[in-house]
Structure formats: structure tokens, C-alpha cells
Chains A and B, each alone.
Chain A
């Protein structure tokens, strides 16, 4: 009996983790407690285990260093608070409201226009904030009442809003991708580059879905009537403005090319954008009315977020900044934008900091708990057990990917992405690597898949957020004076279903067309100078997240670190993939 337990510690430990987590005590401490409990059991049973268990008391001395080197001194994870803070500040500064109002007016006159506007703004917000709650609630508060007023189908309307909000999960800079990159031991920059095209394709598919609905059921998404177009017409004026801006940009490019060479295109585009922005501001300020009001408004509202996107993503993709630095620049940019709108005050900063600290604290403590768990789980050869389980799936690489994606899809009903990323992904990664699967591709697949965890009825967060702001009782619309029926919870759930299907389709597309992700390898990165200037902090060694584990059975003396500050036994560094450009974070 004891032998049986000792030789099957890994499955027993995993099963009991499920029980520990389901009890409902905070995940971080349940993970740690499970790890410690089985550490003690494991040490006691080690003699009976036929060398299956390689745990011994001195190994516990490795824990402080795993927390210090792998969690605290970790430049990758530093991006989490930066992007969170940026997202909250932007949300509080009312960027989403301005965008929705204006883009809604721009697209409103066509059938399904408000839905396109929601998707477009959702993608735009996703590229700046990466916070799902903010997008969904803003859109639910602003766009949903307008959609209801003009007779949009409730299911379609709520589905579009919830799904567009979750785009923040897959379009860089998203927190999921940071965590996945950390857990898979890859660079965040590569992960962002890999996720960009699938994210945009997904946005396109959402729009195609709206188009399909407008064709099949035109009544589900009517165009805005004339009286609702408060900004008036003026699309032609906007087009003219854009053509002029493009012309200025091209002229600047020609003019600058001899002097600034390769950077001329960026500078040219910047000049064109700045000129049109300043013209729009002056035009409105002096009431010259060179442009239509619609054109003014679109230019003024759209350019600051686009500039911010360039500041963050542009600099990361061009290799100018590391993702962490990009996050910091974005956070400062968000503060400046809020200040420019006159909405920056002490209260806003305090609230944003409080939320950011809370989020950072619980996320990093899950990681800490996961590190305790993995110390024991590896000690009982749990990684080999999982690897064996997964690599024995029929169908080789594709079979593995399908199996894993079904698993994650099912788990996403119950777990949110932090839990999935810290508990499940480290178990999957070694098996994926063994099968020769590119880990960035794998990470993006998981990212698209985990996006569904926000949309699954009945636990999806995006649905919660939308439910919390959608009307529960009939109300009198203040424009039309008609009574509007509430949105039923069932309608929100059913509305999400087509988008969950789209999500599954997108996973399939990403498996079928890896090129969408793989282009990250060819991107010209010159990480040389960055890598020299930003050395990894001591003890980090680019460990693949919680997988990094000091070799087992080392002499206890090594567990206390030597004075030079290096991790004792810098845990078998992950097989560095030399075929890809060096990471630059």
C-alpha cells in the first residue's frame, strides 16, 4: 500500500490539488500548502518509492532563492503593474467614452455600424490598455443603450460588446501574454509579435460575423436614423483630411530621407499625423470650420490613442524599448493624456495605484504558491508523469495540440487565465517542447483559447461585467421616450455563444496556419545593445517561470547562496532556442 502511494505520488498530488483548490481558499496559499504537505509526505515515503521521489529536507532551503531569483528579481513580470496602471489611468480618463461616441457616429449610418464601432474601439482599447473589465463596462454603459434604443437584437448586441472587450486578452500589450511568456521561458517581445496577427485576424472575423448577421437578418442591426447623427455628416471632409495628411507625410519622408535615412518613414508618418492633429485642434479652437465637425472630432479623438499605441507597441516591435520599458513609457503617456484632458488628480492616481498593487500582489503570490507546488511536484517526477500522459496522445503534434486545447477550453469554464497560466501551462510546456512545438506559437494558441474563459457562460468575467451594467428593469429611453425592455441574463449568455464558436475557429485557424505567428522569427531585431545594457538580474537566468528548479539532491551546503548573489545551482537553463533571435527583455 505504502509502495503504491509512494510510486504514484504525482497523480495523487495532482488530484489532491484539485480538491485543495475547490475548497475555495485563496489559490496562492492552497498551492503552497499542497506543495508543502506533499513535500513532507514525499520525504517520508522516499525510501519506498523505487527512486520515484527525489525529495529531501535540504531541498526546502531552495525556496527563498526561488522566490528571490525567480519572482522578485524578474524583469518580465515588472511589465504587469506597468500595463495595469496604464490601463486603469486610461480608463479613468474617459478615453473609451470619447472613442465610442465618435466612432459610433462615424460608422452609425451603415447597417450594423454600432457593432462595427464597438469591435473597432474594442481592438483599439485592447492595444492600449489590456484590461478587459474597463472595455466591457465602458461599452456596456455607452453603446448598449444606443443599440437598444435603435432596435438592435439584444443577443447580438451583448455578444459583440462582451467579445470585443476580451480582445484585450490577445492583442498586445496583454497581461496574459506577459505571464505566458514568463511561464514558457520566451521573450515578451516575441510573444507580442506572434500574437499581433492572430489578434487582428480575430478582430476581422468578429466584423465578418457582424456583416453576416446584417445580411441574413437586416433587422437585427439597423443603421442609425438621421436624427441620431449628432455630429452631422462630413465623411468626405474626413477623407480629404486624411489624404492631405498622407500627402504631408509622404512629402516629409522625401524631404527627410537624405538626412535621416532608414528612420525617415517613421518621422514622415509622425509629422503627417502631428500636422493633421494640430490643424484639427486649431480649426476647432478658432472655429474656422475648414473641416466638418465629424472630421475634427474623429481626428482629435483618435490620434492620442494611436500615438500611445505607437509609443508602446511601436517601440517594442522596433526593438527600441523592452516590453517593460514600453509599459513604463505607456504608463507615463497615459498620465500625460489624462492630464491633457484635465482629468488627472490625486484621487485618480491613488485609486489606480491601489488597484494595481492589489492585482500585482495576488498575481505574484499565485506565482509564489505555484513555485512551492512545483518544487514538490518535480521532486515526485510529476513533470515526467504529465509529459508521458500528454506525449502519448495519438496523432503526434496535431493530436497533442488538439488534446491540450480541448483540456484548456474545458478548464477555462472554471479557472481564469492567471490560474491556468501558473498552474496548467508549466505542466504543458515541457511536453510541447519535447514534441518540437514552437513555444511562442503554443503560447499564442493558449492565449486565444484562454480568451474564451472570459466568455463562457455562466462564469465568464466579460459576461459578469456586462450583466453588471446592462439594464435589469424596463426603463424609459430619454431620447425616444419609449419604454425599453431590460436585457435578460439568458440573452447575454446566448449572445456570447457565437463568439465562443468563433474563438474555437480561431484556435483551429492558428493551428492550421502557424505562419500567422511564426513571422516573429524573421522580424529584424537588433537586440545587441539592449541586451548588454539590460542584463538579467542576478539569479534570474531566464528560467522558464516556475519550471526552474535547482537540480535535485544537491548537497545542502549549496542551498545557502554564495556571496556573489547567484542562485545556487542556476537550475538547468531551459534549452535555449538558438534558432530565434535573442530575447530582448
Chain B
């Protein structure tokens, strides 16, 4: 168990690192997009590569941060029923979901994405837009996102089993029922409660 928990901690650290830093891609994307708009108006110039860079960056942000979002327990649930259960039953639901909902999906996607990315890489696939970017890095981001999610899934399963077995403390002791689905702007001032 100790070895598995060490693995879990390592995965958590990697995904936390990636999840925190990749957020800056959104700021870059905003600046690129605003720059594109201004340059197009001011100089009547436009570059497809720069336009495509916007969603490359955003794609990287949301795909690579998905695992961190899972770790932080921020993927939204419908918790009308879930919220009524005791924390212990919630753990079992989470474990069930990790094993039977999350893992089959993300592993299957990794399985399908490897040949998909390889094909794109070997054929040197380029965007059909004139002057567009090469495609395979974007597809690789999708593969990387699902790979990180699979790893995080493993980590979550280890932690859930350990919590249920009483080996470690619950990392998120209370789940606010129905957490704010919008960017929880104000955790410092507000903790929505039922």
C-alpha cells in the first residue's frame, strides 16, 4: 500500500504542476487573439497560423488541466441524490465511478489516439488553411490529456481505496453539495451551502 500511495502522490504532483502552469496558456491565447484582431483591423493583415494558435493554446489548457481538475474534484456532478448520502457511501460511488466510468473511457481513448496521432505525424499533416500550422501537435495534446487523465484515475483509485480502508485521511472531507458551477469566483468570501 505504501508503494502505491507513493505512486499516487507522484502522479498528483505531476498533474498539479502541469495543471497550474498550463493555465498561462489561456492568457497567451487571449493576448494572441486580441493581437490578431488589432493587427487585422490596423494593417489588414491576417495569419492563419496565429489564428490557429489561439485554439491550440486553449486546447492545451483545457485538455492538460483536466487531470488536475479531477484531482481537485471540480468536474461537476448532479448531486441531488449524491449529496444526501453519507461521506462513506459517496466514497464507494466515487470508487465505482473511477473504475467503471472513468477508466474504461480514458484508456479506450488513449488506445484510439495513439494510431491517430502517429498517422498524422508520419504523414506530416498540415492544416488546410493557407499558412496553417502542422496538425499532429494538437492531436498529441488530446492524447496527452487522456493519458494524464488515466494516470490521475489510477491515483484517485489508490486514494479512494486507502481512504475506505482507513489507511489515509480523506483529502476532501466535505464536498459542498452543488458547488458553484461557475468559476467559483469567491471561495474566500463564500462557501455555498444547502
Q: Which residues of A contact B (CB under 8 A)?
A: 20-30, 32-33, 36, 60-61, 63-65, 67-68, 72-75, 77-78, 81-82, 84-85, 87-88, 91-92, 131-134, 137, 141, 320-322, 324-325, 327-329, 331-332, 349-350, 353-362, 364-366, 372, 414-416, 418-419, 458-459, 461, 464-465, 467-469, 533-535, 537-538, 560-561, 563-566
Contact = CB atoms under 8 A, between A and B. Distances in A.
A428 B75 CA distance: 25
B182 A325 contact: no
The main secondary structure of chain A at its interface with chain B is helix
B185 interface: yes
Contacts of A331: 30, 34
Contacts of A418: 76, 181
A75 B24 contact: no
A577 to B, nearest CB: 25
B20 A361 contact: no
A288 to B, nearest CB: 36
Nearest to B31: A332
A565 B104 CA distance: 28
Interface of B is mostly: helix
B45 to A, nearest CB: 9
Contacts of B26: 81, 85, 353, 356-357, 360
A22 B186 CA distance: 27
Interface in B69-83: 69-70, 72, 74-83
A526 to B, nearest CB: 14
Most buried by B among A64, A92, A132, A535: A64
Contacts, number: 273
Given A24-B90, A27-B78, A329 B182 contact: no
Contact of B83 (A24, A349, A361): A24
A535 B76 contact: no
Contacts of B80: 22, 414, 459
Nearest to A91: B185
Interface in B125-183: 125-129, 132, 135, 138-139, 141-142, 178, 180-183
Given A331-B34, A357-B62, A464-B193, A565 B135 contact: yes
B108 interface: yes
Interface string B102-134: 101100110011011001100111111100100
B34 A357 contact: no
Given A85-B30, A131-B183, A465 B61 contact: no
A330 B108 CA distance: 39
Interface of B: 19-20, 22-24, 26-27, 29-31, 33-34, 36-37, 40-41, 46, 48, 51-52, 54-55, 58-59, 61-63, 65-66, 68-70, 72, 74-83, 85, 90, 93-94, 96-97, 100-102, 104-105, 108-109, 112-113, 115-116, 119-120, 123-129, 132, 135, 138-139, 141-142, 178, 180-186, 189-194
B190 A355 contact: no
A452 to B, nearest CB: 15
A72 B129 contact: no
Given A67-B142, A325-B34, A565-B125, A360 B62 contact: yes
Contact of B125 (A72, A357, A564): A564
A459 B128 contact: no
Contact of B116 (A64, A87, A357, A372): A64
A64 B112 contact: yes
Nearest to A334: B30
A36 B78 contact: no
A560 B115 CA distance: 9
Contact of A357 (B23, B52, B70, B194): B23
6 contacts: A82-B33, A358-B72, A414-B80, A418-B76, A418-B181, A468-B190
B22 A362 contact: no
A563 B128 CA distance: 10
Closest 10 CB pairs of A and B: A24-B82, A25-B97, A328-B33, A26-B75, A355-B183, A33-B101, A464-B192, A468-B190, A325-B37, A563-B123
A25 B101 contact: yes
Given A68-B138, A361-B62, A537-B55, 16 more contacts: A29-B102, A64-B112, A65-B116, A88-B185, A91-B186, A320-B41, A325-B34, A357-B22, A366-B76, A461-B181, A465-B180, A534-B51, A537-B52, A560-B116, A561-B116, A561-B119
B142 A64 contact: yes
A23 B109 contact: no
B27 A353 contact: yes
A72 B180 contact: no
A332 B63 CA distance: 24
Contacts of B46: 533-534
Contact of A73 (B78, B125, B126, B138): B138
Contacts of B123: 563
A361 B115 CA distance: 25
Contact of B189 (A67, A82, A141): A141
Nearest to B109: A63
Nearest to A415: B78
A332 B34 contact: yes
B155 to A, nearest CB: 15
Contacts of B194: 458, 464
A465 B183 CA distance: 12
A469 B115 CA distance: 52
Contact of A63 (B102, B112, B139, B141): B112
Nearest to A354: B23
Contacts of A73: 52, 55, 59, 138
A277 to B, nearest CB: 22
B176 to A, nearest CB: 9
A78 B33 contact: yes
Contacts of A81: 26, 29-30, 58, 61-62
A22 B83 CA distance: 10
B14 to A, nearest CB: 16
B42 to A, nearest CB: 12
B81 A132 contact: no
Contacts of A87: 183, 185
Contacts of B180: 133, 461, 464-465
A263 to B, nearest CB: 13
B192 A25 contact: no
Nearest to A60: B112
Nearest to A75: B55
Contact of B183 (A26, A88, A538): A88
A364 B75 contact: no
Contacts of A416: 76, 181
Given A353-B26, A465-B192, A33 B105 contact: yes
A359 B180 CA distance: 10
